[in-house]
Amino acid sequence: ELKVEQNPLFLSMQEGKNYTIYCNYSTTSDRLYWYRQDPGKSLESLFVLLSNGAVKQEGRLMASLDTKARLSTLHITAAVHDLSATYFCAVDSRDRDDKIIFGKGTRLHILP
Amino acid sequence: KAGVTQTPRYLIKTRGQQVTLSCSPISGHRSVSWYQQTPGQGLQFLFEYFSETQRNKGNFPGRFSGRQFSNSRSEMNVSTLELGDSALYLCASSFTHNTGELFFGEGSRLTVL
């Protein structure tokens, strides 16, 4: 069964600092997605990573995918308060298990 | 382009009752997935429908069921509600069942008393 593990699950950090969220998964897949969820809101797609070595950047966020290591990272550069949210990675195993499985999410709290 | 629409947004039920939640996908999207979100378990896959057929089902009891109509709209039903069914139920649509990212609705927040 596909397992998706994120760490850390909770992160409190100061504005201006850099940090990385990790997403490990247990099966072969070259399709991974990152989503953001604000409190009381739905999930919003951030990045779509579709191949080994894929790197996507949007503002202060950068996501990468290493399919050989079964690892994706979401890097935050010079964090600002507006980035406070919960971030989910989701692994697309639909060509194998016909499912998209989400990690438990990383709750990011950025202190002003 | 309208997004994914879920109704109702909030509802309160008592144990033993049943509930039906509705989801209208983005126009042109034929795949609809349902997820249950709770603080303890995170996002758990319920089922996915494509072209009116259930493609896959998560590890939930038979009290949880769903269907998809010819216009791609989907409903999920939970019968004999239990306290543990209190959750945010999220619907997501995608163009097909095997490619693409998911587009989520705002969710239906169910409270079971």
pLDDT digits over A16-42, tens only?
Answer: 999 999 999 998 777 899 999 998 888
Check CB contact of A33 with chain B, cutoff 8 Å: yes
Name the phi and psi angles at B83, rounded to 5. Answer: -55, -35
Give the CA dihedral A13, A72, A1, B45, nearest 10 degrees.
Answer: 60
Tell whether the model's pLDDT for residue A112 goes beyond 90.
no
Pick B104's closest partner by Cβ from A43, A94, A97. Answer: A43
**Residues of chain B under the 50 pLDDT cut:** none
Nearest chain B residue to A34 by CA: give it: B101
Residue A75, token pair as written in the block: 């890097």
Residue B85, token pair as written in the block: 């069914």
Check CB contact of A42 with chain B, cutoff 8 Å: yes
Sort out which chain A residues have CB atoms less than 8 A from B87's CB and list them: none
Long-range contacts of A47-56 (CB under 8 A, 24+ apart): A47/A74, A48/B101
